[in-house]
């Protein structure tokens, strides 16, 4: 049984590192901090390594313990959370050198790159997988741990809206409300509050939004110049892809963002509503994700990247 193997490896390890994917979202941040708190209860002091920590999650417990790098050469155990792909794992050099590795994730496209892989693609958030796991390990999900977990659930379900939400999601939330977790405060902080820069980027993406294929696809973009103009910080592009998806008649929303380190490459984000499996589309470009939310990195100019994506989408649009 994998859960038994996981707890056995945790118990054996002294030096543990916790990692997650690049451009970390609420589920990535929430699950790493929740794991740190859980390991604390087991008497382990683990390192969380996150190079670019979005400001909106600064309110979470253990934030000040997060490191950008480590001086430990070789960890006994590395735990990867919410990351389907070894290439996207920030600090994968620590993962590679660690004596034992565990991958915990909820992406169907997970490459199973750990010694132990605990992947449940049905779960709406990696954080929700942790609930069952921690209960099995007899770890108490207190107010602090619950706040981290709920942050991941709220962000990855768009505020309990997406179809992957289960009865357990609400049961757990109700339980945390009873324990005093301020659910509406978390919700407001992570979903309802926009930075000024995010708002300015939204203005630009809305202005440029194109409707393609009879209005079934929306396409928009931002460049490095935009990011510079609005003085964008880490995470300020989050949520921009959702706007197109929420428009009547749209099946797929496509949003591309120029790479800061390579002006001839774009980070693609896709969202779909009913039937297009955007994870499959992104897999064609070496990316991945979920059926209704996925991403990839594509080389070329804005126009070239758009054409590459449209060629694939046209084949599957009804």
Task: Round to the nearest angstrom and report the end-to-end CA distance of the chain.
Answer: 43
Query: Does the protein bind ligand 5GP through residue 153 (CB under 6 A)?
Result: no
Indicate the residue whose CB is closest to ligand 5GP: 295
Among 75, 287, 306, 313, binds ligand 5GP (CB under 6 A): 287
Please tell me whether residue 297 binds ligand 5GP under the rule CB under 6 A.
yes
Spell out the residues 6+ positions from residue 155 whose beta carbon is closer than 8 angstroms to its own. 25, 26, 27, 30, 125, 190, 191
Residue 216 is a binding residue for ligand 5GP (CB under 6 A)? no
Tell me the CA distances in angstroms from 121 to 83, 126, 152, 156, 287, one per residue in order.
12, 9, 15, 13, 16
Q: How many of the chain's residues bind ligand 5GP (CB under 6 A)?
A: 17
Beta bridge mates, 271: 253, 293
Taking CB under 5 A as the binding criterion, the range among 60-68, 72-80, 122-130, 131-139 that sits at the site for Mn ion is 122-130
Q: Is the dihedral of CA 275, 83, 134, 32 positive or negative?
A: negative
Interface with ligand 5GP includes 289 (CB under 6 A)? yes
For the segment 62-81, give every residue that binds ligand 5GP (CB under 6 A).
Answer: none
Based on the shown chain and the rule CB under 6 A, indicate whether residue 105 belongs to the binding site for ligand 5GP: no
Tokens of 64: 């000040």
Q: How many residues bind Mn ion (CB under 5 A)?
A: 4
Answer yes or no: are the C-beta atoms of 215 and 205 closer than 8 Å: no
Q: Which of 40, 44, 63, 88 binds ligand 5GP (CB under 6 A)?
A: 88
Give the containing element (helix H, strand E) for 293: strand 293-299
> Can residue 125 be called a binding residue for ligand 5GP (CB under 6 A)?
no
- Per CB under 6 A, the list member of 19, 296, 305, 309 interacting with ligand 5GP is 296
**Among 37, 38, 127, 293, contact with ligand 5GP (rule: CB under 6 A):** 293
Contact pattern from residue 217 through residue 256 relative to ligand 5GP, giving x for each residue in contact according to CB under 6 A and a dash for the rest: ------------------------x---------------
Look at residue 21 and give the partner it binds from ligand 5GP, Mn ion, none, a contact being a CB closer than 5 to 8 Å depending on partner kind.
ligand 5GP
Q: What span, in angstroms and rounded, lies between the C-alpha atoms of 277 and 291?
A: 5
CA distance 80 to 75: 13
Signed CA dihedral, 154, 159, 164, 165: sign only: positive
Residue 124 near residue 25, CB atoms below 8 Å: no
Instruction: Rule CB under 5 A: say whether 238 interacts with Mn ion.
Output: no
CB of 82 to Mn ion, least distance (A): 4
Binding site for ligand 5GP (CB under 6 A): 21, 84-85, 88, 107, 109, 241, 269, 287-290, 293-297
């Amino acid at each position: 049984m994998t859960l038994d193997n996981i707890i056995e490896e945790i118990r054996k390890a002294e030096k543990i590192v916790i990692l997650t994917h690049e451009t970390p979202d609420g589920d990535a941040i929430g699950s790493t901090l929740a794991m740190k708190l859980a390991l604390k209860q087991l008497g382990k002091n683990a390192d969380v390594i996150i190079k670019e920590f979005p400001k909106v999650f600064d309110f979470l417990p253990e934030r000040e313990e997060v490191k950008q790098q480590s001086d430990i050469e070789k960890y006994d155990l590395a735990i990867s959370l919410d990351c389907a792909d070894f290439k996207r794992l920030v600090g994968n050099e620590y993962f590679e050198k660690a004596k034992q590795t565990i991958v915990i994730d909820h992406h169907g496209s997970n490459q199973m790159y750990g010694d132990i892989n605990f992947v449940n693609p049905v779960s709406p958030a990696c954080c929700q997988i942790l609930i069952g796991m921690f209960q099995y390990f007899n770890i108490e999900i207190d107010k602090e741990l619950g706040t981290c977990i709920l942050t991941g659930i709220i962000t990855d379900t768009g505020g309990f809206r997406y179809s992957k939400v289960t009865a357990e999601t609400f049961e757990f939330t109700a339980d945390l409300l009873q324990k005093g977790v301020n659910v509406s405060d978390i919700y407001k902080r992570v979903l309802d509050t926009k930075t000024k820069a995010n708002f300015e980027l939204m203005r630009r993406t809305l202005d440029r939004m194109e409707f393609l294929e009879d209005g079934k696809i929306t396409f928009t973009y931002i460049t490095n110049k935009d990011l510079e103009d609005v003085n964008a910080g880490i995470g300020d592009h989050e949520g921009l892809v959702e706007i197109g998806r929420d428009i009547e008649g749209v099946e797929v929303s496509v949003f591309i963002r120029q790479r800061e380190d390579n002006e001839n490459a774009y980070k693609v984000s896709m969202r779909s509503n009913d039937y297009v499996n955007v994870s499959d589309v992104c897999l064609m470009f070496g990316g991945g994700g979920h059926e209704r939310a996925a991403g990839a990195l594509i080389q070329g100019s804005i126009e070239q990247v758009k054409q590459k994506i449209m060629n694939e989408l046209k084949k599957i649009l009804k």
